[in-house]
């Protein structure tokens, strides 16, 4: 983060006002991502959408709209996950590797502020990337069906849920990157993600055993793991079905709370880490 | 390095890469020739469990359902093209598709056609087609057309008019269903499989779909039934002609000249019907209309 602006963005004298430093770090993280051509994945997404829009009608029956929605939302989710995991695990390690972290922390920046800024910056990158892909998806949908339907509003909700999921994955990737190598952090994050997708099955396996101890263990694992199943409404969106409002606010709070817990843990680990 | 030598080096690299790619393509052709017989023998579903695929799809099951549906369509199209009678993978493909996405209505609608049509146009498994529709109805209680399709399967393929009528009545229970469903049920109960009822059912099928393949099938059947209806009318006139003149007419023109027809009747493709030496009418050999004998009324000769 060599182009990091002066932390004196918040006030003229002494430490900047609270929240200013993470904001500056976030903006620079976003700039860094743009400079690293991260958003080039949008070209691939656009090609995928165009190809699907043209091809599917030729090789299948009656699912042109469905494919565009399913493929578009799945691609938004997969591209976002790849970015969240691979960029997330390098947020801290890259700074250490380039030794820019030392000069940064010599300034009046707290470690948790740096972490929060990096997290928010990647989140901002993901929001911009996801928004642009959503525009591409809407364009492909308009090309295929010539109009939008009332049920298409649930596509926006599905995108919002994907963003909540990405916010959680980014927090987990950042947490591991605070104390592990990028390769191991990637593996841990993918592991947690897959386990989180299968959280319901882990719970069900415990119930199948009819063993009270096993049931208790799997129940604890179930509640500890981030339940990524909650955020998957791609099938619901593709069929234009309504999403209950309660699910929207519950998922929002769930993601916010879980990400907060993980970020606090990450800050605690990073604050104690010996960087010498 | 001079600019000229750099230019020639670049060109040499492009040419070398092209030659190598050509060699790779030729090699692939040879490998394909060797492996194709093996690949053809191994036509099977490697992953045949829908629930298992649902688990390993990591939440992208609706996209996987689209892929499996496309695979089912391609499989059916390929078999249809080859005039094959072996559709053994079709039930499995449809089962996986509808397990991955139970709300993929198109898979029930068209899948039932693929399964029910007699070989070589389909798998000839009306029982599986009905099961598929029933699964679809269970997962999508609002989809009244699946009940109507089930009624169609009982009516057209199994000639079970009681169950056909009951299925149309089930469809009619849905407030979104058109009022014709109840009429269809009543008509089947009353008249069973007469030509007009068959035509009405195919017409309902025609109006319920936008897919060109289904529209063509429905249109072909409606045209065939119309031709059959015309032939029966001509046959009746032919018998009257025989009673009056002691011989059968040789053409519809003779019926017109005798004042029994106001004009020359044409089949749905615009070609006049022919009359055989036994007085029975039929389609001109050049006509593209396909006549399929519909289910008969219990009291029909």
CA end-to-end span of chain A = 19
Say which residues have a Cβ less than 8 Å from residue A53's Cβ, sequence separation at least 6: A64, A68, A140, A143, A144
A228–B63 C-beta distance less than 8 A: no
- Taking Cα atoms as reference points, which of B91, B141, B96, B145 lies closest to residue B116? B91
Interface test with A, best of B52, B56, B63, B114 (most A CBs within 10 A): B63
Q: CA nearest B58 in A: which residue?
A: A197
Are the CB atoms for A99 and A117 separated by under 8 Å?
no
Question: Rounded to the nearest 10 degrees, what angle do helices B105-116 and B144-152 cross at?
Answer: 0
Residue B101 sits in which domain range?
A: 48-140
- Among A198, A228, A235, the residue with its CB nearest the CB of B61 is A235
Mean pLDDT value of segment B82-107: 89
Each residue of A178-232: pLDDT tens digit?
A: 888 899 999 999 999 999 998 888 888 888 888 888 889 988 999 999 989 889 8
- Here the tokens at position B300 are 């029909």
Are the CB atoms for A145 and A64 separated by under 8 Å?
yes
Are the CB atoms for B136 and B146 separated by under 8 Å?
yes
Q: Give pLDDT, residue B86.
A: 84
Number of neighbouring beta carbons within 10 Å of residue A87:
24
Contacts of A145 in chain B (CB under 8 A): none
> At residue A13, does pLDDT exceed 80?
no
- Taking Cα atoms as reference points, which of B214, B207, B201 lies closest to residue B76? B214
Are the CB atoms for B68 and B97 separated by under 8 Å?
yes
Which of A45-49, B224-228, B249-253, B285-289 has the highest mean predicted lDDT (pLDDT)?
B249-253
CA distance A118 to A24: 9
- Among A63, A74, A198, the residue with its CB nearest the CB of B60 is A74
A194–B58 C-beta distance less than 8 A: yes
Are the CB atoms for B291 and B283 separated by under 8 Å?
yes
Contacts of B110 in chain A (CB under 8 A): 61-62
- Longest CA span, chain B: 106
> At residue B280, does pLDDT exceed 60?
yes
Contacts of A63 in chain B (CB under 8 A): 66, 69-70, 104, 106
Q: Give pLDDT, residue B178.
A: 81
> At residue A21, does pLDDT exceed 60?
yes
- Among B62, B211, B213, the residue with its CB nearest the CB of A70 is B62
Percent over 70 (pLDDT), chain B:
88
Specify which residues B103 forms β-bridges with: none
DSSP state of B166: H
CA angle A16, A21, A23 (to 5 degrees): 130
Mean pLDDT value of segment A16-24: 72
Say which residues have a Cβ less than 8 Å from residue B148's Cβ, sequence separation at least 6: B167, B168, B171, B177, B181, B184, B204, B208
Mean pLDDT value of segment A108-124: 89
Residue with structure tokens 């409404």?
A233
Say which residues have a Cβ less than 8 Å from residue A162's Cβ, sequence separation at least 6: A73, A76, A77, A80, A130, A231
Contacts of A197 in chain B (CB under 8 A): 58-59
Residue with structure tokens 């841990």?
A188
Give chain B's mean pLDDT. 83
Interface test with A, best of B52, B59, B99, B108 (most A CBs within 10 A): B59
> At residue A106, does pLDDT exceed 80?
no
- Nearest Cα of chain B lies from the Cα of A91 at a distance, in angstroms, of 26
**C-alpha A111, offset from chain centre:** 22
> At residue A4, does pLDDT exceed 50?
no
Number of domains into which chain B is organized: 2
- Please identify, among B78, B106, B140, the residue that sits at the C-terminal boundary of a domain: B140
**Between β-strands B274-275 and B281-282, what pairing exists: parallel, antiparallel or unpaired?**
antiparallel
Give chain A's mean pLDDT. 84
In a domain, B160, yes or no: no
Are the CB atoms for A233 and A213 separated by under 8 Å?
no
The values of phi and psi at residue B272, to 5°, are -65, 150
A194–B66 C-beta distance less than 8 A: no
> At residue A9, does pLDDT exceed 60?
no
Q: Give pLDDT, residue A91.
A: 84
- Please identify, among B78, B113, B140, the residue that sits at the C-terminal boundary of a domain: B140
Identify the residue with better confidence: B111 or A104.
Answer: B111
Residues of B with CB under 8 A from a CB of A: 55, 58-63, 65-66, 69-70, 73-74, 101, 103-104, 106, 109-110, 211, 213
> At residue B207, does pLDDT exceed 90?
no
Q: Give pLDDT, residue B206.
A: 73
- Please identify, among B140, B171, B186, the residue that sits at the C-terminal boundary of a domain: B140
Q: Give pLDDT, residue B162.
A: 85
CA distance A139 to B170: 40
Q: Give pLDDT, residue A205.
A: 86
Residue with structure tokens 């959280």?
A199
- Here the tokens at position A245 are 């409002």
Mean pLDDT value of segment A115-129: 92
Mean pLDDT value of segment B103-113: 91
- Here the tokens at position A129 are 């990337």
Q: CA nearest B71 in A: which residue?
A: A60
Q: Touching check for A145 and chain B: CB below 8 Å?
A: no
Split at pLDDT 50, 70, 90, the class of B297 is very low
In a domain, B123, yes or no: yes
A59–B74 C-beta distance less than 8 A: yes
A234–B103 C-beta distance less than 8 A: no
A60–B69 C-beta distance less than 8 A: yes
Q: Touching check for A71 and chain B: CB below 8 Å?
A: yes
Split at pLDDT 50, 70, 90, the class of B209 is low
Say which residues have a Cβ less than 8 Å from residue B151's Cβ, sequence separation at least 6: B163, B164, B165, B166, B167, B168, B170, B171, B184, B185, B188
B62–A234 C-beta distance less than 8 A: yes
Each residue of B226-273: pLDDT tens digit?
A: 888 888 889 989 988 888 888 899 888 888 888 888 888 888 888 899
The values of phi and psi at residue B281, to 5°, are -85, 165
Mean pLDDT value of segment B289-295: 64
B211–A234 C-beta distance less than 8 A: no
The values of phi and psi at residue B29, to 5°, are -60, -45
- Nearest Cα of chain A lies from the Cα of B66 at a distance, in angstroms, of 6
């Amino acid at each position: 983060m060599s182009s990091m602006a002066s932390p004196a963005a918040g006030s003229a004298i002494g430490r900047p006002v609270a929240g200013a430093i993470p904001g500056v770090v976030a903006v620079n993280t976003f700039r860094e991502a743009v400079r690293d051509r991260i958003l080039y994945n949008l070209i691939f997404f656009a090609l995928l959408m165009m190809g699907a829009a043209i091809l599917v009608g030729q090789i299948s029956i009656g699912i042109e709209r469905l494919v565009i929605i399913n493929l578009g939302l799945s691609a938004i989710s997969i591209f976002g996950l790849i970015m969240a995991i691979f960029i997330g695990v390098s947020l801290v390690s890259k700074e250490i590797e380039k030794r820019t972290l030392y000069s940064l922390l010599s300034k009046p920046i707290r470690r948790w502020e740096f972490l929060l800024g990096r997290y928010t910056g990647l989140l901002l990158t993901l929001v911009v990337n996801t928004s642009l892909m959503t525009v591409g998806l809407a364009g492909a949908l308009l090309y295929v069906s010539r109009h939008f339907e009332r049920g298409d509003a649930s596509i926006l909700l599905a995108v919002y849920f994907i963003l909540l999921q990405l916010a959680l994955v980014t927090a987990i990737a950042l947490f591991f990157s605070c104390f592990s190598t990028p390769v191991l952090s990637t593996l841990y994050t993918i592991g947690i993600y897959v386990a989180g997708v299968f959280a319901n099955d882990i719970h069900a396996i415990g119930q199948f055993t009819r063993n009270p101890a096993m049931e208790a263990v799997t129940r604890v694992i179930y509640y500890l793991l981030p339940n990524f199943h909650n955020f998957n409404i791609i099938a619901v969106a593709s069929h234009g079905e309504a999403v209950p409002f309660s699910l929207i606010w519950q998922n929002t709070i769930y993601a916010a709370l879980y990400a907060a817990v993980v970020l606090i843990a990450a800050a605690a680990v990073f604050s104690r880490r010996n960087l010498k | 390095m001079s600019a000229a030598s750099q230019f020639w080096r670049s060109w040499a690299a492009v040419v070398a890469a092209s030659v190598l790619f050509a060699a790779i393509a030729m090699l692939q052709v040879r490998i394909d020739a060797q492996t194709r017989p093996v690949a053809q023998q191994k036509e099977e579903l490697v992953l045949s469990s829908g629930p298992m695929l649902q688990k390993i799809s990591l939440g992208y099951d609706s996209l996987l359902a689209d892929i499996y549906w496309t695979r089912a369509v391609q499989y059916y199209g390929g078999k249809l093209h080859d005039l094959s009678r072996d559709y053994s993978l079709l039930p499995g493909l449809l089962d996986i598709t509808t397990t991955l996405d139970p709300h993929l209505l198109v898979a029930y609608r068209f899948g039932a056609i693929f399964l029910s049509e007699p070989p070589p146009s389909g798998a000839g498994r009306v029982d599986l087609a009905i099961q598929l529709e029933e699964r679809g109805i269970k997962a999508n209680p609002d989809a009244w057309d699946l009940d109507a399709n089930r009624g169609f399967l009982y009516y057209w393929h199994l000639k079970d008019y009681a169950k056909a009528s009951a299925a149309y009545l089930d469809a009619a229970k849905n407030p979104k269903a058109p009022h014709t469903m109840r009429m269809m049920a009543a008509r089947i109960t009353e008249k069973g499989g007469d030509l007009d009822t068959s035509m009405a059912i195919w017409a309902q099928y025609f109006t319920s779909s936008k897919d060109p393949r289904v529209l063509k099938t429905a249109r072909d059947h409606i045209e065939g039934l119309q031709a059959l209806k015309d032939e029966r009318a001509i046959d009746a006139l032919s018998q009257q002609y025989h009673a009056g003149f002691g011989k059968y007419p040789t053409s519809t023109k003779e019926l017109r000249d005798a004042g029994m027809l106001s004009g020359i009747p044409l089949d749905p493709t615009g070609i006049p019907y022919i009359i055989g030496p036994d007085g029975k009418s039929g389609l001109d050999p050049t006509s593209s209309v396909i006549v399929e004998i519909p289910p008969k009324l219990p009291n029909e000769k």
